[in-house]
Amino acid sequence: MELETERAEIQRALDSLSNYQAPICALPEELLSDILQIGHAMQVAEARAFVVDFSPAIELSASQVASYWRNIAIRTPRLWNTIRLPKNSGQIELHLRRSQGLPLDVIINEGTTQPSVQSLCRLLSPLSTITLLSFSRASQLSSSQTGHLSRLRRLIVDGVQCSAASVHDIIRCLNSADTPHLIELELSAPWQVRSIAFDRTYKNRAPQLTAVMLNGVKFADCLDPMEHIKALRLWEYPTPLSTLSRTLNTMVNLVHMQLDLCIAFSDQEPSIALPALLELHLSISQSGKLPKFLILLDAPNLDCLSIVSFAVTTLDEACMSSCPSRFPKLRQLIFQENGPPTECALYCTDYASYAVAFPQICRLEIAIVVEKFILTILEGVNPANLKSYWPELDTLAIKRHIGIPIISSALAHRARNGRPIQRLLLTQKVPEREAFEGEMELLPYTNSWPVHWPSECPITR
């Protein structure tokens, strides 16, 4: 007992030590607080980009350096308004209390257990209908009496690695109360459960919702009103196209959409009008679905179209004739990876159909290495009008390595035809700048997609 008492006294003495001569103590508290907030914001952004973050949280690390740092960290609410699970109930409540009423960003990463999710839901909304079998001491948590769901600003759930029960708990929590400040919702269902749906009682509970990203979650009119949504990503969604069309037609402010065309089309599908859409990314499993979808879409302000397909894609006559009038402002076209390398050698997509459908392309980006494609674009003549493919094309970005002599010859041929490429973006280093003729600007390839994303919502993984 004496040794234990002595040890406790020594520990208290050590805890009270402060080196006020240290340079860090000369910094104003406001400056150190700003530095910690910048580091916290960078760490959150990296964690979202790389899915899993193994580094200690800035707010926890700073509170353990010294008493001076700890006092500042605890009194800086913005260090605590991002809650990244897995965390236990005590840690969650600590963040809720120290964030002092600021809007909350909740990120549920892989490895989060259902008890952790249930603790979060109970603290966010005491009205939640969740039965917390493993949370018998809920009454001891004082902050749970008020609830914090109304503070929720962003909710990101990597449900692919969570249980179906955890995802259901999250949805029931959202259904239990209003979320007037929620602007971003990202929710993935587990691989073994692809039919999770929102309750229709969620209508009008999130009037400021701006970005919605759902993977394997049913998506219908349950998230109305839709006029605030600017960014939408739907992956593996078990929703009929007719239902999806009705929902999309209410999104008059949608500017960015990523869509997995994995659904069946009927003969008479309703048209889709998206007057504000600027960027569209389509993932295609069957080539015939692309023209069927494009012919239904009316997006007069569409600027960027990205296509990823594992099959040969071609636009039919009806699509080619109607696309110029329905997409008059389309300037950027992106072809993503199209099948394994063994199939790329036989790649035979009808690029003439794209040139007819989208004649005003200025920037072309390709993530495939098919020399036949490159030569066709730069040297060939469009049989539809006997002119060069995409006469206004001035920027070409190539994501994969390609033979420099081949691309150099093709570029020179196009320049002689009066249609020079002004900017070429390559991933590979070009040893000899003299390999390219003319005044063309050679730049390193950078993945600039997406180019149109709501500024209030940071780009997610």
Q: Residue range 228-235: average pLDDT?
A: 87
**Confidence band of 169 (pLDDT split at 50, 70, 90):** confident
Report H helices in 279-435: 289-294, 317-326, 341-344, 351-357, 371-379, 404-416
pTM of the entire predicted model:
0.78
Q: Is the pLDDT of residue 145 over 50?
A: no
% the chain with pLDDT above 70:
67
**Confidence band of 219 (pLDDT split at 50, 70, 90):** low
Q: Are the CB atoms for 162 and 131 separated by under 8 Å?
A: no
Q: What digits encode the pLDDT tens for the residues 419-455?
A: 888 888 887 776 665 566 666 777 777 766 666 677 6
The pLDDT, as a whole number, for residue 61 is: 65
Q: What digits encode the pLDDT tens for the residues 111-139?
A: 777 788 888 888 888 765 444 443 334 33
Domain positions in the chain are 12-79, 366-446
d(C-alpha 457, C-alpha 183), whole Å:
8
Burial of 35 (0-12, 13-18, 19+ CB in 10 A): middle
Is the pLDDT higher at 177 or at 272? Answer: 272
Which residues 6+ apart lie within 8 Å of 12 measured at CB? none
Q: Is the pLDDT of residue 414 over 80?
A: yes
Q: Is the pLDDT of residue 215 over 90?
A: no
**Confidence band of 241 (pLDDT split at 50, 70, 90):** confident
Query: What one-letter code names the amino acid at 176?
Result: S
Is the pLDDT higher at 455 or at 175? Answer: 175
Q: Is the pLDDT of residue 25 over 90?
A: no
The pLDDT, as a whole number, for residue 383 is: 66
DSSP-derived pairing of the beta strands 304-309 and 332-335: parallel
